């Protein structure tokens, strides 16, 4: 009985033990709140259900900030584990960050670089805080953390400068092996907004970003879809693609055909058949 009581008391002490929040802890908490707001903004922009993961990340970052500012001694341990999981998820659990980071001209390239750098910095800071909380009694900041922070800052600034100085990517119409006109699909845009297909020709949609798209005939107007299939148009009723490619055609009637992705606001393509 005495042993059980002692173990329970030790567990409570471990869970409730607090200490003053150090400068490092305040930095961690501040960055966590910043990341939470960024994730919440991303979730709002993407919408549900696509933004569920970002909304969850926002909640987790807020909870981490709360336990850090509460001064709970074990908080950095949890933060380090969650931070490592977050970094793994960003690079292996979702295709979005990799897509942005491999497209220098993408408008989200710099924000994603900053988010990745901050996430890595928080992970390093959590590890440093663990050493600070359970190491020396004077709670000095580990020397290596300064080098890590400087290195991450330098790499992030360097990557952003490279992205800013990169020449805008140009996408021209290409022809597939079977003569079809190729249209590339990015994260939330077509590779080109207008294309000409010869009478009797076909369109080959290629999903470069491996991101789900749902294509049909119509236009985006004031943030809303207006779908309408032109007479004699090749079949394209809400065709879904998440990777690879698919063809439609032939276009047997001259005219102008508008194609949109119903999942991404503003993603629209004008096809002219002379």
pLDDT at 256: 93
Nearest partner of 152 among 116, 128, 126, 127, judged by Cα: 116
Per-residue CA distances from 37 to 47, 74, 115, 130, 225 (Å): 15, 24, 11, 25, 29
Q: Which tokens in the block code for residue 251?
A: 């276009």
Low-confidence spans in the chain with pLDDT less than 50: 1-7, 9-11, 14
pLDDT at 104: 72
pTM, full prediction: 0.59
Cα separation, 226 vs 130, whole angstroms? 55
pLDDT at 6: 47
pLDDT at 48: 56
């Amino acid at each position: 009985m005495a042993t059980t009581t002692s173990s329970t008391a030790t567990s409570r002490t471990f869970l409730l033990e607090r200490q003053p929040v150090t400068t490092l802890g305040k930095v961690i908490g501040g960055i966590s709140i910043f990341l939470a707001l960024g994730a919440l903004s991303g979730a709002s922009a993407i919408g549900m259900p696509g933004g569920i993961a970002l909304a969850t990340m926002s909640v987790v970052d807020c909870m981490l900030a709360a336990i850090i500012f509460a001064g709970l001694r074990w908080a950095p341990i949890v933060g380090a584990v969650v931070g490592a999981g977050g970094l793994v998820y960003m690079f292996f659990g979702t295709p979005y960050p990799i897509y942005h980071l491999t497209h220098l001209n993408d408008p989200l390239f710099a924000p994603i670089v900053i988010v990745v750098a901050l996430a890595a910095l928080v992970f390093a800071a959590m590890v440093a805080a663990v050493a600070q909380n359970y190491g020396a009694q004077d709670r000095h900041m580990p020397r290596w953390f300064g080098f890590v922070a400087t290195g991450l800052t330098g790499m992030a600034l360097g990557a952003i400068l490279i992205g800013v100085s990169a020449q805008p990517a140009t996408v021209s119409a290409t022809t597939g092996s079977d003569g079809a006109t190729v249209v590339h699909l990015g994260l939330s845009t077509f590779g080109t907004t207008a294309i000409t297909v010869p009478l009797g020709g076909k369109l080959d949609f290629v999903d470069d970003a491996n991101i789900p798209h749902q294509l049909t005939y119509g236009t985006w107007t004031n943030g809303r879809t207006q779908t309408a299939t032109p007479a004699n148009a090749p079949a394209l009723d809400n065709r879904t693609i998440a990777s690879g490619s698919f063809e439609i055609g032939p276009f047997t009637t001259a005219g102008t055909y508008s194609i949109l992705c119903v999942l991404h606001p503003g993603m629209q393509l004008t096809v002219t058949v002379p």
